[in-house]
Structure formats: C-alpha cells, structure tokens
Chain A
Amino acid sequence: MNQATYRGLVLVAVVLVLAASFAFADDFLADFYGYDYWSPWTAPSGAPGDCYNSVGYTPAVNPVFLTFDYAVNEYTYSLQSVCLSTVDTVGTHVILEFTGGTLDLYCDPLTGGTTADFGTNPPNAVSPSTFEDGDCVLGADLATMQIVIDTTTGNADLFGSLDFVRGSQLGNLPANQRNGWTLAGLRAAAPGIPAGYSWQVDGQLFLQAPVPVQDESWGSIKSRFQGGESR
C-alpha cells in the first residue's frame, strides 16, 4: 500500500467515525394530504406499467426552506406518472415497487387563481390540472418509490426517495440537501373519497440531513489515529 492510499483510508475512517458520533435526523420540508388514483390502470388488479398519481394540498412547510403565505395563496401538490415495475406478496402484504415520476408543489393566488378541485374519475377536466396551475415552487424527480399494502385492512403506506431539481424556491435548499424522502399513510376505507380516487393520502416530505463534518488539522487526525487522543 503506498502512502497516498494509506492516507486516503485513514481519512475515510476518520470521516466515518465523526459521522457516527453525531446524532442527526432528516429535515422536515412539507406536509401534504389529498387523494390518489391510477392512470393508466389494468383492471381488475393492476399490472406493471400502470402508473400511480396523487393530488392534494400542502398545508404546512418548514419556513427555513420554503416561504409560503397561506393568507393569499393556495398551495397544492401533484405526484404524477410513478409507474409500477414489480409486485411481490409477503404473507398478507403486497409490496409494489415503482420507477420514474415527478412530485411538484404549486402556488396559486386565492384571488384570481383557480381553486383546486378533485372532481371525479381522474384524470378529468379539473384534476390534476387545478392542482398544477400557478407557480411551481419546488419540483422533484422520484428516484424510488414503494407502496406496501396490508391486505387484511386495505391500509397502505408509501415510501420514496427523490431529488429536488426545479422550482422558483429551489435556491432556498442548500446544495447538499437537494435530495430527500417522502412518507405517507394511505387508507381506502375513508369517508369522503371522491369517486374514482383510490386511497386518501396523508404524508410529509423531508430533506436528507447533511453529513456532519468537523474541521481538524492533519496532525490531529494522525494523532487520533495513532492513539494520541481519546474521546
């Protein structure tokens, strides 16, 4: 092993030790609720290539990253074209894996804008279009998404990873935090689901926490590696 390789290994080891020594959590970005639907959909139970979509409202955000004024604007989200790739069954659970898709947050004036409307049997004349009008505040491409269905209850949950790549407030997100996660609970047996929608959706968006770093001199790193310092 040459000296450069050795030093590289030491640095990697030190960075891993430092990262492990800090407790951190991902940063809350936004809260959302709405309904979902499939389009296209292969009756009766779906098939790879069918796509999952969801529209609804964004009632709260982290003001550190996003500036929303609920007194004058309506804030909505639209999750589109997340397409089913595989279906697996584990006991009484069904695991759906998806590829592709986008998630965008929109701002539309309460006065002069178009009020969001779910309508029925989406896509339709008002949905998703009334959830996608106005200014795209923040938009992401989905990297992965998984829905797990409990067939004994019909309840499900959603978990996805995404990369924020567009939007008028993208610049508010630190460059090293432009990827993150979406989590949501899904429920089919819920009152008031508009005709043609599948589950009600309630979830959140998170930005991945930056890896913590600590400035140290090369001498102190060498000293620690050689047992000269204990913590």
Chain B
Amino acid sequence: MTKANHFRIFVVTCLLTVVVAGGAFAGVVNPVVDFGSGFALENGRTVDNHVSVAGDTLMIVGHVVAFNQPFDDLNPNDPAKEYTYVYKGLVSLGTAVSGSGSFVFYDTEYSGGTLEIYCDTAMNSDFAVPATFMDGDLILAASLSGFVISTKSFNCSGTQNSFMTFTGGSLFNRVSAGGTGFSGITTGLFSVCASFVDVPRQAEGYFGLSDSKVDVDISVPAERKTWGEIKRDSRK
C-alpha cells in the first residue's frame, strides 16, 4: 500500500468520525419516546389467555407520556393536543409454550407490523373506538420486525420487544439521515392478567396491558458521500 493510500484512508476515517459526531445522533436521548398504558386487541382474545392463535392480528393503542431529544420540544401534557400511538398489523405466528407444572412460559412472535405516533388537536381518543388513536398529524411511522410478547404462568409480568426502523411522518427528518430512517427497538412490559387490565378496557375487548418505549440505536449513523465530496469538504 502506498503512502498516498494510507493518507486517503486516514482522511476518510477522520471525516467519518466528524460525520458521526456532528450528526443528528448527537441530540438523541433514549428513550426518545415513552408510552403510557396501552391496551391490546387481538381477534376477541380475552384477559388471562396467554396463547395467541396463528394468523390473528394484534393492535395496541395508548398515549405518549414522555418525549426526549430530538423530540423534547413536544409536550405530552399539552392541554391543547394529545399524542397517541398505535402498534398495528402484527400477525401472530402462534405461541410457543415451554416449561411445565408451575413454571410455564409463553412466547408469541408476530410478523410485520408498524408503529405510528400521532399528534391530534381534536383530543378525541377513546379506547372504545381504536381509530381515534390514529387521527390527526402522523408525526412518526416505523416498520417493526421480530416483535415478541413473552408471558408466564406464575406471575403477571411479561415483556414486549421488537426491532424497528423509522419510515416516515412529519418529524421523520429528526430520526433519519439522507432519507434513511434510523433503527432502534421498542421494548417494555406486557401483561395479560385481568387484574392489570382496566375493567372498562376488558369490556371493550382488550386482553392485555402494554407499557413500552422507543430507543434509537445511536451506534450506526452514516451519511453517503462521494470521494470527490469528501476531498472537497476536507479542503474547506
């Protein structure tokens, strides 16, 4: 390898470091969004039922309770707006049951799915009408993958986890670079116990309690540039 090539690699390394340090990730504080109590619907499934039928579709709706950078200018307690979220289009792949006796574990994987966050000045959200959580300005949209809910027989706690990639919304520019959405995870608590799903929600057909949040992966910022652009930038 020539000295010139060594120098070029050095320059590229330095520039990529600058891109990383100066990118939007410098302003990310996880969780970027925290969701409050959400409730889950799935084809008539009822509380205390740990088993999902393959092919059934999961939806979770609720309210945002906290925003951090790059959304810390949004106030989830704004009296003139409501911020709502919906996980939808998650198709059950069935529930894997393991363990036995007093210790039974239930893991349900879902395919597909999207996460959407809305800002609505109508402030009309009503759990009896899930569509009211999907109106107003769509501020963020993300595709989901690897969505899994895990619960168990011997206590009421459980988990909800998924990978995600931002795909759109009016604030997409805050979580994307060069048109490519950042990736991350949604993660949190899930319970199917009747004692943790409000009675009115049960009457409306909800079977589970969800409490999750969005963490953006801050380790993979990237920006495409031609070799000419990099050389030009280095001379500025």
Q: A residues bordering B, Cβ < 8 Å? A: 23-26, 28, 31, 33, 57, 59-60, 70-71, 90-93, 95, 146, 148, 150, 153, 155-159, 181, 183-187, 190-192, 200, 202-204, 206, 209
> In the assembled complex, which residues on chain A have CB atoms less than 8 Å from the CB atom of B36?
31, 59-60
Option from A60, A185, A209 in Cβ contact (under 8 Å) with B187: A185
Q: Which residues of B contact A (CB under 8 A)?
A: 28-31, 34, 36-37, 65-66, 76-77, 98-99, 103, 105, 148, 150, 152, 155-161, 184-185, 187-191, 194-199, 202, 209, 211-213, 215-219
Closest 9 CB pairs of A and B: A59-B66, A192-B30, A60-B65, A159-B157, A202-B188, A157-B157, A185-B189, A159-B155, A185-B159
Q: A59-B34, A184-B189 are in contact. Are A31 and B211 (CB under 8 A)?
A: yes
B212 touches A185 (CB 8 A): yes
- CB pair A191 B30 closer than 8 Å: yes
With a CB–CB cut-off of 8 A, which chain A residues contact B209? 204
Let me know if A155 and B159 touch, CB within 8 A. yes
Can you report 14 residue pairs joining A to B where beta carbons are below 8 Å apart? A33-B66, A59-B65, A60-B36, A70-B77, A71-B77, A155-B187, A156-B159, A157-B158, A158-B157, A159-B156, A184-B157, A190-B215, A192-B30, A202-B212
**Closest Cβ of chain A: how far from B109's Cβ, in Å?**
12
Q: Choose among B28, B188, B191, B209 the residue with the greatest number of A CB atoms under 10 Å from its CB.
A: B188
Instruction: Determine whether the beta carbon of A200 is less than 8 Å from that of B187.
Output: yes
When distances are taken between beta carbons in the complex, the residues of chain B under 8 Å from A209 are 195
Q: A157-B158, A159-B157, A185-B159 are in contact. Are A202 and B211 (CB under 8 A)?
A: yes
* A157 and B99 alpha carbons, distance in the complex (Å): 17
Asked if A57 and B66 make an inter-chain contact with CB atoms under 8 angstroms apart, the answer reads yes
Residues of A near B105 (CB, < 8 A) are 91, 93, 150
Question: Hey, which chain A residues are within 8 Å of B155, CB to CB?
Answer: 146, 148, 159
A24 pairs with B217, CB closer than 8 A: no
A218→B189 CA distance, assembly (Å): 45
* Best-surrounded residue of A71, A186, A191, A206 (most CB of chain B within 10 A): A191
Known: A25-B194, A93-B103, A158-B157. A191 touches B37 (CB 8 A): no
Shortest CB distance B73–A (Å): 14
Which residues on A sit within 8 Å (CB–CB) of B190? 185
CB within 8 Å for A190 and B189 given contacts A148-B152, A158-B157: no
Q: Is the CB of A183 within 8 A of B196?
A: yes
Q: Are A26 and B213 in contact, CB atoms less than 8 angstroms apart?
A: no
Residues of chain A with a CB closer than 8 A to B31's CB: 33, 200, 202
Partner of B189, one of A90, A146, A157, A192: A157
| Interface pair A202/B187, CB less than 8 Å apart | yes
A148-B155, A187-B159 are known contacts. Are A204 and B185 too (CB-CB below 8 A)?
A: no
Measured in the bound complex, the distance between the Cα atoms of B170 and A40 in whole Å is: 46
Residues in A with CB closer than 8 Å to B197 are 25
Q: Which residues of B contact A70 (CB under 8 A)?
A: 77
Which residues in B have their C-beta under 8 angstroms from that of A200? 30-31, 187, 215
Q: Which of A33, A156, A200, A206 has the most CB of B within 10 A?
A: A33
- Among B66, B159, B184, B198, point to the contact of A25 (Cβ < 8 A): B198
Determine whether the beta carbon of A202 is less than 8 Å from that of B34: yes
Contact A26 to B196, CB < 8 A, known contacts A150-B150, A191-B184: yes
